[in-house]
């Protein structure tokens, strides 16, 4: 029984369901929730070096999730500036012109500053907002974001397990995990941080990290304590 309980697939299943995030997604969009669970399991199987048709299943799942997420969560503000942003940009334009002279007032710099600097900054903001531990484990506390309905996605007791799993993933350098992580980052650049379900592309990765961290700890205690768990 204990052996079955610590079966990796069972652990992943429990981790994927024993979190607040998936139930919030189910409440809002049951199809999205199901696809994300499916994506989690595919990613895990691919991580375990299973290949073949699973890659196709992964790609199809990613496309389906993208359709849901980008349809509802596309960040319209990337290319549209708010009045406050326009004001700030104008003011900074003055500072840069005064201090940099021709290095700033030349045509290339002007075009870059006017058209690209703000979208690049916003996309960076979207990407980095997903790389925040507190977003997942503490509802962004202590740096809560104004105007955004932050919610706790995982209990904070999972945080140390997640960190162990993350370090293990990093040291293993599995290509599928790296490629998925990069893809999640690229897509998140275009998703608004106000999207009601949060950075769902990271859902499979975090479940994977927590599962691996948990299994590592179980194995560690089995070996160190020579205790039959």
Q: Which residues contact 143 (CB under 8 A, 6 or more apart)?
A: 132, 134
Tell me: does residue 96 bind another protein (CB under 8 A). yes
CA-to-CA dists, residue 142 to 19, 133, 137, 139, 191, angstroms: 21, 11, 11, 9, 23
Distance separating alpha carbons of residues 138 and 17, to the nearest angstrom = 18
Tell me: does residue 194 bind another protein (CB under 8 A). no
**Binding another protein by CB under 8 A: which of 5, 18, 114, 131?**
131
Distance separating alpha carbons of residues 191 and 61, to the nearest angstrom = 18
The residue among 7 and 117 lying less far from another protein, judged by its C-beta, is 117
**Binding another protein by CB under 8 A: which of 4, 76, 107, 173?**
173
Q: What is the nearest approach in angstroms of another protein to the Cβ of residue 3?
A: 30
**Among candidate residues 140, 148, 126, 146, the one with its CA nearest the CA of residue 192:** 126
Tell me: does residue 150 bind another protein (CB under 8 A). no
Q: What is the nearest approach in angstroms of another protein to the Cβ of residue 103?
A: 9
Residues at the site binding another protein, with contacts judged by CB under 8 A: 91-92, 95-96, 99-100, 121, 124-125, 128-135, 137-138, 141-143, 156, 159, 163, 167, 170-171, 173
């Amino acid at each position: 029984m204990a052996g079955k309980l610590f079966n990796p697939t069972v652990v992943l299943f429990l981790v994927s369901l024993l979190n607040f995030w998936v139930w919030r997604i189910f409440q809002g969009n049951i199809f999205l929730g199901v696809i994300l669970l499916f994506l989690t399991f595919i990613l895990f199987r691919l991580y375990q070096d299973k290949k073949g048709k699973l890659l196709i299943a992964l790609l199809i799942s990613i496309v389906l999730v993208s359709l849901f997420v980008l349809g509802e969560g596309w960040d319209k503000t990337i290319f549209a500036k708010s009045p406050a942003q326009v004001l700030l940009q104008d003011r900074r334009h003055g500072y840069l012109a005064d201090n940099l002279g021709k290095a700033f007032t030349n045509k290339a710099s002007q075009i870059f500053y006017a058209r690209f600097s703000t979208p690049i900054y916003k996309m960076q903001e979207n990407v980095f907002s997903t790389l925040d531990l507190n977003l997942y484990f503490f509802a962004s506390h202590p740096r809560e974001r104004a105007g955004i309905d932050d919610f706790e996605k995982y209990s904070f007791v999972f945080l140390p397990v997640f960190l162990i799993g993350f370090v293990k993933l990093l040291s293993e350098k599995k290509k599928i995990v790296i490629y998925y992580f990069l893809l999640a980052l690229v897509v998140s650049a275009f998703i608004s941080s106000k999207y009601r379900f949060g950075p769902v592309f990271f859902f499979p990765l975090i479940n994977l990290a927590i599962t691996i961290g948990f299994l590592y700890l179980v194995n560690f205690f089995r070996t160190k304590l020579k205790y039959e768990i």
